[in-house]
Amino acid sequence: MRFEVLHVINSGTYGTVCLARDRADREVAIKVLNPEHLDNERAIMRLRDEAALLSRIDHPNIVKVHGCYEVYDRPFIVMEPVNGASLEDLLFALPSGMKVADALQIVRSTSAALDAAWSSPMGDHGEPLHVIHRDIKPSNILLAMDGTVKVVDFGTAHCRFEGRESETVSMVLGARAYLAPERLDGGEDRPQGDVYSLAHVLYELLTGRPMQVSLHPFHHGRMLAGQYARMPLQASDHALRERVTRLLERMSEYIHDDRADHAEVVTEIDAILTDFELEHDLEGFAGKHVHRRMQNIRSHDAHDHAAWLDLAFLEGPPPEGDLVDRALRDYLTDPNWHADKLALERVLARPGWTIRPFTELLDQDGKPWWQFWAAPRPLSETELRRILEVLARRRSPTVTAYAQRYLDHPDSYVRALAAELSAE
C-alpha cells in the first residue's frame, strides 16, 4: 500500500482531492485526475505542469507540492495538507459577509502570493516565472485553522519555465463570473486579470453576495458604482467605507492598464489597516467557522464517499469488477440515472465494470409483479436507449440476445439500436 486514503476533501469536474497518510505516517493532500479525463492528454499535461510549477514556488500563501507521480497509469499530485476550508464553503455560512479587517487581510495575503508568483526570481535561472493564476475565485482560496491563507489550483495558470509540457494559450479559462472583461474577449493574459477577479472576491467577502457586472464598457463602471454605494459594509466609519470603495474601484477598472497591480493592492490594504487601526483575527475567525467544516470532513470515511472508486488505486491495485459493479448498481437505483449522460460517462470511466447491472435491469423489465418482493418499475424509453447504448460498448453473444428482445419495440431509436446489436 502506497497511501491510506482518509477523507475526501473535495470532488470536482476535473479532479478529486483527498487527505491521505503516506508510508512515513505523514498526512498529505492528493489531487487525482478523474477517470473520464485520463484520455485527455491536455488535462494530464496541465496536471503535471501544475506540479512542476508549484514545486518551484516557495511562498507561505501558496500550497506546496511534493511531486507528481503515476500509479497504475493514474497521474496524481501530492501536496501539503491544508487543515482548512475554502472561502466558497465559508461564504455559505456568512450571508452578511465578514468583518472588514478579516476580509482585507485575506485579499492582502492572496495578492502578496500572486505578486510573488509573478515577479519573484523562482525560475530555473533566477528569472521570474510570470505566473498568472487565471482562475481566482472563492473556491481556490483556502483559510487554514491557524488563519493562514493558501491559494490553490494552478491547473490553468499562465507561466514560463523549462520543461513545461502544455502550451500556454490565451483562452477563456476559469469561472466566468470572476473573469476580467479582456479575458472574456480572449485578450492577452495579464496579472491585472487576477486583480479584477480578486475584486469580486473582496466584494463577496464584505457583503456575502456575488458582484453583478455588465461587460459593456459604458455600463460597467456605472453598475459597479451603484453596488459599491449600496454595499452593506460591516463598518460604520464613513471614511473607511470610502477607502475600501476606492480600493474596489481601482481593482475592478474596465481597462486593465487602469487597474492596481498586486503590489499596489498589498500597499493600499496595509495603509487602510494602519490608518484606521484595524486588527484582523483570522485565527479566531477560522477557529469558529473553519473548525466546523473540518470536523464534517473528518467525520466521514473516504470509503463511504461517492468518489471512493476514483481514489482506490492509491491504496492498491484497481478494484475488481464485482466492487465496481456494486457501485454501479447503487448508481442505477436512482430513478433519474438516465437523465444525466455526463454523470453516466463518469461512472463508466472507471475500469472494471461489466454489463451485469444493466442486463439485470432488462431482466426485470416486463416481468409480472408477483415475481418480485415489490412491484418492478417498468423501464422508460430513455432508460432502454441508455442501456442499449452502454451494451454497445461490450458487444457479445449475450448482448445480441438481449437486444433481440427489442426488435419490435415501439420506439424507433430503441428498435434501431436493437437491430444494430442483433446484427453482430
For residue 269, give the 3-state DSSP assignment. helix
C-alpha cell at position 267? 500597499
Q: What sign has the CA pseudo-torsion 88, 60, 174, 118?
A: positive
Calpha distance 23→107 (Å, rounded) = 36
Distance between alpha carbon 359 and the CA centroid of its chain, in Å?
Answer: 34
For residue 97, give the 3-state DSSP assignment. coil
| 135 belongs to the catalytic site | yes
Calpha distance 312→83 (Å, rounded) = 22
C-alpha cell at position 180? 476580467
Question: Amino acid letter at 411?
Answer: D
Within 13 A of 77's CA, how many CA atoms are on the CB side? 28
Strand 4-11 vs strand 15-21: parallel, antiparallel, or unpaired? antiparallel
Is the Cβ–Cβ distance between 110 and 272 less than 8 Å?
A: no
Alpha-carbon distances, residue 257 vs 112, 131, 135, 254 (angstroms): 19, 18, 20, 9
Query: Which residue among the candidates 89, 102, 135, 325 is catalytic per the annotation?
Result: 135
C-alpha cell at position 334? 436512482
Alpha helix (H) residue ranges in 120-233: 181-184, 191-207, 217-229
Within 13 A of 154's CA, how many CA atoms are on the CB side? 31
Calpha distance 100→279 (Å, rounded) = 10
Report, as residue numbers or ranges, the catalytic residues. 135
